[in-house]
């Protein structure tokens, strides 16, 4: 039985391939901490997480006393999410699909920070989802959007995860402007994983993540964090910071 970082069993139903990958990623503790540390400087005030999944990042980002609401559209994911955040009085869990305006009306101007990590690429009308996230922010609020980069790396694992696309900086910037964000900053994250992703997903056409490769990569995260910016290829992900001007 998969166990989370707080030793709470996830107790998920029979896993589909995409959820199985989420569970595998829950075991990559060093990598999850790296991602959390990367976006933490932009988090402030009341937080709304869109597409929290089974809570791999929620448990790292919701520490402290700030109000934190974690949402997901998949009922099975909410089982693990609730288990992993039980005992945290500052965390609320709700089912919501941010591609549906009627689903998220209750979140209008409810947050100072919206966090959306590896979610937007799953949504057909991603501009509509970004518009709904922007409407959930108070004036002066910030959205933190992390997505996979590189259409040329789209492969079999993207298909298993039901990704609709991998982004370019230009596409992500344009869609955030169209959604109403006035100030946008784009940076890259995680060059270290790019060769492995391309090799496994594009060349070998694998349909899942290798647990052995994932453990080896996670073990070396302290090294990757030191040398990542010096690696000579593009990042695996993009991080967009979008602001709503007061």
Tokens at 237, concatenated: 């992900």
Sole residue written with tokens 């989420």 = 22
The total number of structural domains in the chain stands at 1
141-157 burial string, b = 16+ CB within 10 Å, else e?
bbbbbbbbbbeebbbbb
Tokens at 20, concatenated: 């199985």
What SS3 string covers the chain? Answer: CCECCCCCECCCCCCCHHHHHHHHHHCCHHHHHHHHHHHHHHCCCCEEEECCCCCCCHHHHCCCCCCEEEEECCHHHHHHHHHHHCCCCCEEEEECCCCCHHHCHHHCCCEEEEEEECCHHHCCCHHHHHHHHHHCEEEEEEEEEEEEECHHHCCHHHHHCCCCCCECHHHHHHHHHHCCCCEEEEEEECCCCHHHHHHHHHHCCCCCCCHHHHHHHHHCHHHHHHHHHHCCCCCCEEEEEEECCC
Q: How far is CA 76 from the centre of its chain?
A: 17
Q: Is residue 5 part of a domain?
A: no
Q: What is the mean pLDDT of residues 198-208?
A: 93
For the chain, percent of residues with pLDDT exceeding 70: 94
**Model pTM?**
0.92
pLDDT at 19: 80
Q: Which structural domain, as residue segments, surrounds residue 79?
A: 17-243
pLDDT in tens, 13-38: 546 778 888 888 989 999 999 999 99
pLDDT in tens, 103-156: 999 999 999 999 999 999 999 999 999 999 999 999 999 999 999 999 999 999
Rounded to 10°, the helix 211-219/29-39 angle is 60
Q: From the CA atom positions of the chain, what is the Rg in Å?
A: 17
Q: Is residue 223 part of a domain?
A: yes
pLDDT in tens, 214-231: 999 999 999 999 999 999
Q: Is residue 220 part of a domain?
A: yes
Across the chain, mean pLDDT equals: 92
Q: Is residue 1 part of a domain?
A: no
Whether the pLDDT of residue 10 is over 80: the answer is: no
Indicate the pairing of strand 68-72 with strand 111-117.
unpaired
Q: Where residue 207 falls among pLDDT bands split at 50, 70, 90? A: confident
pLDDT at 5: 45
CATH number at residue 185: 3.40.50.150
Q: Is residue 133 part of a domain?
A: yes
Q: Is residue 81 part of a domain?
A: yes
pLDDT in tens, 41-100: 999 999 999 999 999 999 999 988 889 999 999 998 999 999 999 989 999 999 999 999
Q: Is residue 3 part of a domain?
A: no
Contacts of 217 (CB under 8 A, 6+ apart): 28, 31, 192, 193, 196, 224
């Amino acid at each position: 039985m998969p166990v989370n970082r707080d030793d709470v069993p996830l107790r998920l139903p029979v896993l589909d391939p995409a959820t199985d990958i989420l569970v595998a990623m829950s075991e990559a503790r060093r990598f999850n901490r790296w991602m959390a540390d990367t976006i933490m400087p932009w988090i402030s005030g009341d937080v709304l997480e869109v597409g929290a999944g089974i809570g791999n990042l929620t448990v790292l980002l919701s520490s402290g006393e700030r109000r934190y609401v974690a949402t997901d559209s998949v009922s099975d994911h909410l089982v693990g999410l609730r288990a992993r955040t039980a005992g945290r009085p500052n965390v609320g869990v709700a089912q919501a699909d941010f591609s549906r305006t009627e689903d998220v009306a209750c979140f209008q101007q409810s947050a100072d920070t919206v966090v959306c990590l590896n979610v937007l690429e799953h949504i057909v009308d991603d501009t509509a989802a970004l518009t709904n996230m922007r409407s959930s922010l108070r004036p002066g609020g910030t959205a933190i959007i992390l997505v996979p980069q590189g259409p040329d790396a789209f492969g079999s694992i993207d298909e298993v995860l039901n990704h609709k696309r991998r982004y370019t900086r230009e596409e992500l910037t344009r869609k955030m402007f169209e959604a109403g964000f006035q100030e946008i900053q784009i940076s890259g994250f995680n060059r270290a994983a790019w060769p492995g992703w391309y090799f496994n997903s594009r060349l070998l056409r694998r349909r899942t993540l290798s647990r052995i490769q994932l453990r080896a990569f996670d073990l070396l995260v302290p090294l990757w964090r030191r040398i990542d910016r010096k690696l000579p290829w593009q990042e695996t992900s993009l991080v967009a910071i979008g602001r709503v001007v007061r």
